[in-house]
Amino acid sequence: MKLPMKKFFLSFVFLFTVVIGSAQEFSVGVDLFNRYIWRGVNLGGKSPSIQPWANVTFGSETHSFTFGTWGAFSLAGTANEEIDLYFNYCINNAVNIVVTDYFFPDLNVGVKDNYFEWGADSTGHLLEGAVSFVGTEQIPFTALFAINFYGNDARKSNGDLLMSKYAEIGYKTNINGTDFNVFMGAALDNPDEELGEIGFYLNENAGITNLGVKLSKTLEITDKFSVPVQCSFVTNPELNKVFMTFGFSF
């Protein structure tokens, strides 16, 4: 299915007008990391990654909606680019329901590099639905479940969408002004090993793909200027990999 450009443009303008008209907060920024590691998988090669983002939020303190975009670009130009759109519904600043549209311009080839191609078997877009609990002061635990429900996911031997699933749990606390997060995530699908299938998370079996710890804090440079920084030690037992990442935000 190809969405005509005129209809797409008019729909986008209408949605944008509605969102802007009721928006309560606009945010824009950029993060810089030495590596782009996502759920225990290296998506940025050996190059530092610059990750711009922008979003708009509206709603109340108990129920808010955020529409945003996020991207990742290799500073050396040696890794795949990523440009995402997402919609997040937040409940009581604790539970998030998110739909994300992942798109990799350089990774997609042929018809799949067409951003406006939405055919089930030909689109380069990948739609994921996720539910997460981000923890509270009383309950310092986090949890996430995500599932790919349309588009450019791995395929089963019969050609059906694998609908790759990922789950993660974590614990967070603050020690002397530094946020401390321990996490463990796993790919939940078993590709057909006899056919040489590889899962969406590059896994050959269901198993732990993202195990590690993240430290983060805000460095006060001056009275009026501060920089959030973070450092993570990440292992992927399923792929026998280890990563260390460092990044800061503006």
The model carries a pTM of: 0.88
134 with 179: CB under 8 angstroms? no
> Which residues does 35 contact at the CB level (< 8 Å), separation at least 6?
42, 44, 46, 47, 48, 49, 243, 245
The pLDDT of residue 14: 63
Give, for all 250 residues of the chain, the pLDDT tens digit. Answer: 444 544 555 565 566 566 555 567 889 999 999 999 999 999 988 899 999 999 999 888 889 999 999 999 998 876 778 999 999 999 999 999 999 999 998 766 666 888 888 888 889 999 999 999 999 989 999 999 999 999 999 887 777 888 999 999 999 999 988 999 999 999 999 876 655 567 889 888 899 999 999 999 998 888 788 899 999 999 999 999 999 999 999 8
The pLDDT of residue 223: 78
> Which residues does 158 contact at the CB level (< 8 Å), separation at least 6?
none
Backbone angles phi, psi at 22, to 5 degrees: -110, 5
Which stretches of 103-189 are assigned E, i.e. beta strand? 126-133, 141-151, 165-175, 178-187
Which tokens go with 118? 């939405």
CATH 2.40.40 fits 5-249, yes or no: no
Backbone angles phi, psi at 113, to 5 degrees: -90, 5
Burial class (CB in 10 A: 0-12, 13-18, 19+), 18: exposed
Instruction: Indicate the domain borders of the chain.
Output: 5-249
Number of residues that make up the chain: 250
Which tokens go with 177? 């002004």
